[in-house]
Amino acid sequence: MRLLKLLLKLTVVLGSLWMLYLMSHPKTDLDPTYSLRYSWLEYTDADGGPEKVCNCTAIMQGVREALKQAKLLTITKDFRKNVRIPDEHYINATRDCRKFKLTRKYLTFPLSQEEEDFPLAYSMVVHHKVQNFERLLRAIYAPQNIYCIHVDEQSQASVFSAISAITSCFPNVYMVSQRATGKAKKPPPFNLPILSGNAYIVVSRGYVRSVLEDNRILALMEWAKDTFSPDEFLWATIQRIPGVPGSTWPNRKHDMTDINAIARLVKWQWHEGSQGSLEAVYPECHGKHVRSICVYGAGDLQWLLEHHHLFANKFDTDTDPIALYCLEKYLRQKALAELQP
């Protein structure tokens, strides 16, 4: 419960270049007597695609046979073809928003008074792969929150239309488009030291207020407008500006590694290895690496759930749809199990 309270005290601002996943609910044993009233919101095999032949319970427990079976399935041609959902599907499926939300089992009410009283704001960046976006949105969606979706201007027209169709079904999901140019830069304003850090952040309301109102930050953002990847230094720089709520001194000693931060859990290829080795931080990736980051496979789930992070990246239905499917089922069941009867 402590983690959930902490989460509720924060406004969440997250960039999502790829699939991120909510793991916000604290670990508790599932109560088999949980409120049957909401059992219709559980994801069942009937909602699933071809992934439903997998035994998710065994997969989450890391049972070798189940993982082997899942792996085999993910490399089967027919299976890969069948799990794919074209962008056009979302345009059709959202013609009837009510039906779309119902069949996709979106939450249409806050899960607790506490959550209702503490709405969160999310910021997501999307380039492609609408299915990943829709599944992430469904995982983090609650009617009391606000979602700001930035679709890359260079995205395909079908991505734009599909995301626009999905967002039009929700009054609290907004879509904006993004720009990236290149000119010679003047030095940053106020001699602010430019520091790098995580593009995926969880911050308080006070921090957001500073971003919107503090003159130093407004000038910094104006300066950063035409830089290539502002998210990789902007938040980290603001995080070290004196007086910003939640800020720390710019000394390295305050820096936190991915593994200790709560915003996202990530496996960098060069930190992977076997247990007991002094160099390795975590076990090897069971999915595949994209730009040295692990795109998780079903075999990573057990390890993921042993950690305290709110999000993990990356997931991709093109790499391992079973990992996503089992995690979705597990998280929804857990969220519902915590409802007061």
Q: By the criterion CB under 6 A, which residues form the site for ligand NAG?
A: 55, 57-58, 61, 63, 89, 92-93, 95-96, 99
Please name the residues in contact with 291: beta carbons below 8 A apart, sequence gap of 6 or more. Answer: none
Please name the residues in contact with 45: beta carbons below 8 A apart, sequence gap of 6 or more. Answer: 52
Q: Minimal distance in Å, beta carbon 257 to ligand NAG?
A: 33
- Say how far apart CA 199 and CA 232 lie, in whole Å: 5
The secondary element (H helix, E strand) that includes residue 296 is none
**Degrees, nearest 5: CA angle 247-251-256:** 70
Amino acid at 117: D
Q: Minimal distance in Å, beta carbon 325 to ligand NAG?
A: 14
Q: Minimal distance in Å, beta carbon 95 to ligand NAG?
A: 6
Which one of 42, 116, 232, 338 is the catalytic residue? Answer: 232
- Say how far apart CA 245 and CA 156 lie, in whole Å: 39
| Cα–Cα distances in angstroms (integers) from residue 119 to residues 147, 220, 331, 334, in the given order | 11, 28, 20, 20
Bridge partners, residue 203, by sequence: 11
The secondary element (H helix, E strand) that includes residue 294 is strand 293-295
- Tokens for 286? 């069971």
Is 232 considered catalytic here? yes
Nearest to 26 by CA among 9, 53, 60, 2: 2
Of 89 and 127, which CB lies nearer to ligand NAG in the complex structure?
Answer: 89
User: Which residue number places its CB atom closest to ligand NAG?
Assistant: 58
Of 48 and 197, which CB lies nearer to ligand NAG in the complex structure?
Answer: 48
Of 27 and 95, which CB lies nearer to ligand NAG in the complex structure?
Answer: 95
Q: Minimal distance in Å, beta carbon 88 to ligand NAG?
A: 8
Bridge partners, residue 149, by sequence: 124, 175
Nearest to 326 by CA among 135, 93, 90, 149: 135
Of 63 and 146, which CB lies nearer to ligand NAG in the complex structure?
Answer: 63
Q: Minimal distance in Å, beta carbon 169 to ligand NAG?
A: 12
Of 35 and 92, which CB lies nearer to ligand NAG in the complex structure?
Answer: 92
Active-site residues, by number, are 232
